[in-house]
Amino acid sequence: MLRDAASPIRVRQAVVRVYASELDVLVDEMHRHRNVETGGDLFGLWSHGDVPTVFLASRPGEAAVRQRLSFQQDVQSHRATEQAVWQTFGVQCIGMWHSHHSIGLEVLSRGDLGRTMRYARRSNRSRFVDLLGFHRDHWHVRPFVYRDAGLGRTRATRLEVLPGISPLRAALDGSIASLKGPPVGPPLRLTVLPSEPQSPLLAPKEGKGDIDPASLKPLSGRGRGPWRAVHAVEQVIASVVPESLREQLQLDVVDDSTLALRLTKGQGRTLIAMFSFDGTLTLGAWQVVGASPVIGRPQPDDVSSSLQQAIAALESP
């Protein structure tokens, strides 16, 4: 019964088109800095069918910070380049690319999705493209188109490579110095992979040594089945769980229709709540474990107020 309601879910794959010359820039830049994260901006246009085409990929600006587990673009350079390509070619920044080199994280991290969300909200742009590079025997690139960049939710996405040199790169005459960069070296092997949908709550962490290889497993082992259930729980979380608590929140997929939420608050108190989804979302059970444990009595048909009670129980000493 549950399965019938939740599936089949047809997820239309999003597409990113990118000129081969721009992938060459990406791979060259990643290979020059193969032990740290590096990246840049993507400039291009969106089609009628909401398909982005990347005409130009930049390298990092001079003040960009490349570290083993994080990359920060040079904001001044980003702004100056976008202004220049807008005035010269009428294209805008449609996303960014960065490298996870050999850290073993082949999807976007929670921090990456959070960065896109902040950018989308600040700039009032709900469309965004991420290209993620990584090294596994050789270089790979994986594309991500956002369903709603402000929510940090990506779609299943594949990459289409347009052959040859981008007409905009061919027309660069040195007037946009930040897009010139060093000449691209000899061609390197590159594999282009599709991506599965991602959301900020389920994404693994990256940076400051907090990559937990165990946290990667649920992502790779999961199909598309639980996606609508995840979406339903995320909506409740967004309306009920205060921002200050979300950093401690973990959502685990038990099976296609069951999700476990785990929320830890100081003094070793943890809320565990079990949700099930059969087209509508139900909060089946919750309890607070640790000091002064509480077992909840959820009202199955009122998920929001049940979760509110559970959080109040977690927060009360």
Residue 112 in the binding site for Zn ion (CB under 5 A): yes
Alpha carbon of 301 to those of 230, 284, 305: distances in Å?
Answer: 18, 10, 10
Tokens of 127: 């469309």
> For Zn ion, what does the binding mask look like between residues 197 and 226, x meaning CB under 5 A?
---------x--------------------
SS3 at position 42: strand
Residue 154 in the binding site for Zn ion (CB under 5 A): no
For residues 54-71, one letter each, b for 16 or more C-beta atoms within 10 angstroms of the residue's C-beta and e for the rest, the string is: bbbbbbbbeebebeebbb
To Zn ion, the closest distance from the beta carbon of 259 in angstroms equals: 25
To Zn ion, the closest distance from the beta carbon of 112 in angstroms equals: 4
> For Zn ion, what does the binding mask look like between residues 159 and 198, x meaning CB under 5 A?
----------------------------------------
Q: Which of residues 58-87 bind Zn ion (CB under 5 A)?
A: none
Q: Which residues contact 221 (CB under 8 A, 6 or more apart)?
A: none
Amino acid at 96: M
Residue closer to Zn ion by CB (options 22, 112) is 112
Angle value at C-alpha 216, between 254 and 199, nearest 5 degrees: 70
Residue closer to Zn ion by CB (options 40, 298) is 40
To Zn ion, the closest distance from the beta carbon of 196 in angstroms equals: 16
Residue closer to Zn ion by CB (options 39, 226) is 39
φ, ψ of residue 150 in degrees (nearest 5): -65, -25
Task: Compute the distance between CA of residue 218 and CA of residue 313 in angstroms, rounded to an integer.
Answer: 29
How many amino acids of this chain bind Zn ion (CB under 5 A)? 3
To Zn ion, the closest distance from the beta carbon of 98 in angstroms equals: 6
Whether cis (ω within 30° of 0) applies to the bond prior to 167 is no
Residue 109 in the binding site for Zn ion (CB under 5 A): yes
To Zn ion, the closest distance from the beta carbon of 206 in angstroms equals: 5
Residue closer to Zn ion by CB (options 157, 264) is 157
To Zn ion, the closest distance from the beta carbon of 152 in angstroms equals: 13
Contact assessment for residue 32 and residue 309, using Cβ atoms and an 8 Å cutoff: no
Amino acid at 23: L
Binding residues vs Zn ion (CB under 5 A)? 109, 112, 206
